[in-house]
Chains A and B, each alone.
Chain A
Amino acid sequence: MDGLSFPARLHLTLIRIRLTIESEDGVNAGGCCVVHLDCHKGAWRPKDSEEYGLILRSKQSVLTDVPDLAGRFDRFGGRYVPETLMAALDELAVEYDRARQDSTFQSTLSELLSDYVGRPSPLYFAERLTKHCGGAEIWLKREDTNHTGSHKINNTLGQALLTIRMGKRRVIAETGAGQHGVATATACARFGLDCVVYMGEEDIRRQAPNVFSMKLLGAEVRPVGTGSRTLRDAINEAMRDWMASVQTSHYILGSVVGPHPFPRIVRDFQSVIGRETIQQCQAKFGRLPDSLVACVGGGSNAAGMFYPFIDHADVALIGVEAGGRGDAPGDHASPLAFGQPGVLHGSYSYVMQDEDGQTCQVHSVSAGLDYPGVGPEHSYWKETGRVTYTTCRDQEALAAFDTLARCEGILPALESAHAIAQAMILASKRPKNHRIVVCLSGRGDKDAAEVARLREDPGV
């Protein structure tokens, strides 16, 4: 099937395809059709030959043409929020669509990304780490070199520009590790917007350096003492603020989670990571990498890294969830591995829930991955089999943190250390001509004190 490969684990039997049909006079006409697939000798094929012909001629992949207008990634996504927020979500979707097609918006954003953030972020060959693992080449996509020290700034600048376009002057954000909080505070300082960041008390404790930064940047940090006092509760509190301030405030959500259109907007703004990686791989070694590895909490750095590669079926995509202390409920933060589809924070996706639908407690050594849900597009990629998801334990991530520091002189964020750990395992099993790119989503300065504390008290 030319130009389109269907993963073997595709669960769907009905697929909607957007078609670009070129008529004789060269005019493009769009359209949709439903194609019935069935399994034929282990391969998915359309049921009748006419449909097969349609697929052969179709130009756009079914896997990347998401979400639909209702915010659906097949069955995942949607908008499960109070009516009060619906008008604002509609407004945001419309404004984002306009901005996407506005060349001034796009050029303003790319100028900021180059001159303010310092993009493109380097693609770096980790030579000593590669030798240490003794197999495939490990390359690092250095999002840690961005201004503010993580990939989060890619999204916050884009959304700050949207805030201004919508005529709003106040911004709300949630933060776990503090990376998104710092990136939001930074974007708000840059554009003179008021900024309130909600952060769980537990995360304020373990990510203290970022709290100072946010305050220095002029943001108000509001501690959240309800529930588990982590990222999930910070999102609840930010949403409650937005319920009351929706007419004058924009909520800059930091991950590919939440109600439509957030998962799409954040993915699109983060996709600069994957787009640059494609160009840099071509320039450095003349082809695409064999595997990509990224950590997944809500999943924004992974979504940004993977999305431009979705249609390149030869590139293996591996997402790494937080395996925490173990596989028992409450000991990890791996909804794709251990959860089931359900509703949390406005979207339908994999989530850690009990049998009543109440959100479960989760655990990760990394504040940024310590979240019971995951972006709906990741659920979609899991079910279509396009991305493989795995988990990495606290101790493995901490060991990878040490190894990267010693081998390469780079302190990774504890979030990113999960991806490094998985890449090291993968590299040791793959031949020397295999190339792995890891999304090094953030730098680890913020974690230095917490890592030191955990050394003293390894009981995590």
Chain B
Amino acid sequence: MSVIDTVFGQLRQQKRSAFMPFITAGDPDLDFTADVLHALAGQSADLIEIGIPYSDPIADGPVIQASYTRAFDRGIRVRDIFRMLEQVTQDITIPVVTMVSYAIVLRHGPREYVEAAQAAGVAGAIVPDLPVDEAEGLATLCHETDFSLIQLVAPTTPRDRALRIAKMSRGFLYYVSVTGITGERTALPPELADNVAWLRDHVLLPICIGFGIRGPETVRQLASAADGLIVGSAFVRRIAEAATRPRHEVLEEVKQFAAELVGALKLS
């Protein structure tokens, strides 16, 4: 039983969906990322995803790509990200998971990466370029240490394969809402809710929807469709302002946006 399982257990009792913001580590620097983490934890986020900047992110749209570039401009290193997280996770109680390319995990060594992440208080990882067919080794390793390897299902995934992915996934199952890259969308595919509903009927693991969610309206529409919603680019776009504007203002706006999303989630 991981910390993520505990969180979703509680949410199920409260009949609530999880609010899961995604932010990029080191955008524009790690001090500000730490501030944002504290702020989001204070605004009833249930879990936070931290994007580890990667040089060649093929699943990410322009907004998240640009945030990685800003982080690299300051020479961001994985060990510095973990050092920051080690501090922050002592203060906040919600689970933090990393979104990280397998290129990075493999270069560090899967065991070394998981150990370093756990030492920093990280509860799990989403590895978007490690499909289930290649994931067995890492999944076994993570399972041994109660580190949740969260797997993804896409709209292009056949149903039998989705069930196989769900079986290997831990913590929750990440349902990618759109066929495409990350980024805010004005509309999500009409079949999304049905597809997720089918999976929920067949899978015990909580299912969370990510990609494309831009604001309170989408959150209201999807709140009952899933066990949790992941909002990334919409936060990253707001945080990007911190490179050029007073940080306290940006932080206030991030808090306010989080509050709107939480409000929308409760209303539904």
Question: Which residues from chain A contact B78 at a C-beta distance below 8 Å?
Answer: 356
Stretch at the interface among B43-51, B174-182, B257-265: B174-182
Which range holds the interface residue count of chain B? 35 or more
Is A353 part of the binding interface, using a Cβ–Cβ cutoff of 8 Å?
Answer: yes
Q: Are A353 and B176 in contact (CB under 8 A)?
A: no
Q: Are B156 and A86 in contact (CB under 8 A)?
A: yes
Would A357 and B106 be within 8 Å (CB), given that A84-B156, A226-B65, A240-B181 are in contact? yes
Question: Which residues from chain A contact B153 at a C-beta distance below 8 Å?
Answer: 83
Q: Are A247 and B103 in contact (CB under 8 A)?
A: no
Is A239 part of the binding interface, using a Cβ–Cβ cutoff of 8 Å?
Answer: yes
* Of B60, B106, B158, B178, the contact of A342 (CB 8 Å cutoff): B106
Q: Are B77 and A356 in contact (CB under 8 A)?
A: yes
- How far apart sit A240 and B178, CA to CA, in the bound complex (Å)? 13
Q: Are A236 and B56 in contact (CB under 8 A)?
A: yes
Q: Are B179 and A246 in contact (CB under 8 A)?
A: yes
* Of B105, B131, B161, the contact of A79 (CB 8 Å cutoff): B131
- How far apart sit A182 and B155, CA to CA, in the bound complex (Å)? 33
* Of B130, B151, B154, B178, the contact of A80 (CB 8 Å cutoff): B130
CB-nearest residue of chain A relative to B53?
A358
Question: Which residues from chain A contact B132 at a C-beta distance below 8 Å?
Answer: 83
Is A82 part of the binding interface, using a Cβ–Cβ cutoff of 8 Å?
Answer: yes
* Of A84, A346, A355, the contact of B176 (CB 8 Å cutoff): A84
Q: Are B106 and A343 in contact (CB under 8 A)?
A: yes
Most interface-central of B55, B61, B151 (chain A CB within 10 A): B55
- How far apart sit A346 and B152, CA to CA, in the bound complex (Å)? 16
Is B148 part of the binding interface, using a Cβ–Cβ cutoff of 8 Å?
Answer: no
Is B133 part of the binding interface, using a Cβ–Cβ cutoff of 8 Å?
Answer: yes
How near does chain A come to B212, taking the closest CB pair, in angstroms? 11
Question: Which residues from chain B contact A357 at a C-beta distance below 8 Å?
Answer: 54, 101, 103-108
Is B201 part of the binding interface, using a Cβ–Cβ cutoff of 8 Å?
Answer: no
Is A34 part of the binding interface, using a Cβ–Cβ cutoff of 8 Å?
Answer: no
How near does chain A come to B130, taking the closest CB pair, in angstroms? 6
Q: Are B176 and A356 in contact (CB under 8 A)?
A: no
Q: Are A243 and B180 in contact (CB under 8 A)?
A: yes
* Of B65, B103, B133, B154, the contact of A82 (CB 8 Å cutoff): B154
How near does chain B come to A173, taking the closest CB pair, in angstroms? 15
Q: Are A358 and B129 in contact (CB under 8 A)?
A: no
Closest 8 interchain pairs by CB? A357-B107, A244-B180, A357-B104, A84-B154, A239-B58, A343-B103, A358-B55, A357-B103
**Other A-B pairs beyond A357-B54, A357-B106, 14, CB < 8 Å:** A78-B134, A80-B102, A82-B128, A83-B132, A83-B151, A86-B133, A226-B65, A226-B69, A227-B56, A236-B58, A244-B180, A247-B179, A343-B103, A358-B104
Q: Can you list 20 residue pairs at the A/B interface with Cβ under 8 Å? A: A79-B131, A80-B103, A83-B152, A85-B156, A86-B157, A87-B156, A236-B56, A236-B58, A240-B58, A240-B181, A243-B58, A243-B179, A348-B106, A353-B107, A357-B101, A357-B103, A358-B54, A358-B72, A358-B103, A359-B56
